[in-house]
Amino acid sequence: MPHPISTLGAAHTLISLVPAVAGAYSFVRYRRIEPATRAGKIYLGGLLLAVLTSFGLSSSGGFNVGHALGIMALLAIAGALLAPRLPPLARVHPYLSQLGFTFSFFLLWVPGINETLTRLPVAHPLADGPQSPLVRGALAAWLGIFVAGAALQGLWLRLQRRRARG
């Protein structure tokens, strides 16, 4: 039987859906997470709230991998927002920024995949823990999607820059 979800866990899950949906929408609409758009702002605010609420959750009673992933996601966002402000990175900042935003989206889903597979369906979850072959396979597939998506995004950004130069 899966671990019961606490009230904070349920709230965190609902809050985490906000950046998941806003990020997915941004990728479909803009092919990237653009912080100046409404969806980008919702993504950033939702991610911050999701990470903050995650700190109140811990099945081990202390700091865990999920917390570390949240901190990494916030660091990726900070780097993505900072890159355009650093003159030495002017040439590559669009790529670094989007890699940071895309990496944060990737990290957002890592604990989500694990939690979903180990909690649903409620009566008989699909996986029994993070070491389950199903969880590991799903995370490996997600990593592959991230790598391929980031590469395609980089190529698309390069094409956009070339078109803008004429």
Structural domain total, the chain? 1
Interval 22-57: pLDDT, tens: 999 999 999 999 999 999 999 999 999 999 999 888
The answer to whether 154 and 103 are in contact (CB under 8 A) is no
Cα separation, 7 vs 106, in Å, equals 25
Question: Is the model's pLDDT at 1 over the cut of 50?
Answer: no
Interval 95-125: pLDDT, tens: 999 999 999 999 999 999 999 999 889 889 9
The domain containing residue 147 runs over which residues? 7-165
H runs (alpha helix) in the chain: 7-30, 38-54, 65-82, 93-119, 133-165
Cα separation, 53 vs 18, in Å, equals 13
Residue 1 lies in a domain: no
Q: In this predicted structure, what is the pLDDT of residue 59?
A: 66
Which residues, 6+ apart, have CB-to-CB distance to 56 below 8 Å?
8, 12
Q: In this predicted structure, what is the pLDDT of residue 142?
A: 98
Interval 46-85: pLDDT, tens: 999 999 999 888 766 788 888 999 999 999 999 999 999 9
Residue 123 lies in a domain: yes
Residue 2 lies in a domain: no
Residue 30 lies in a domain: yes
CA proximity to 50, closest of 17, 4, 5: 17
Residue 20 lies in a domain: yes
Residue 32 lies in a domain: yes
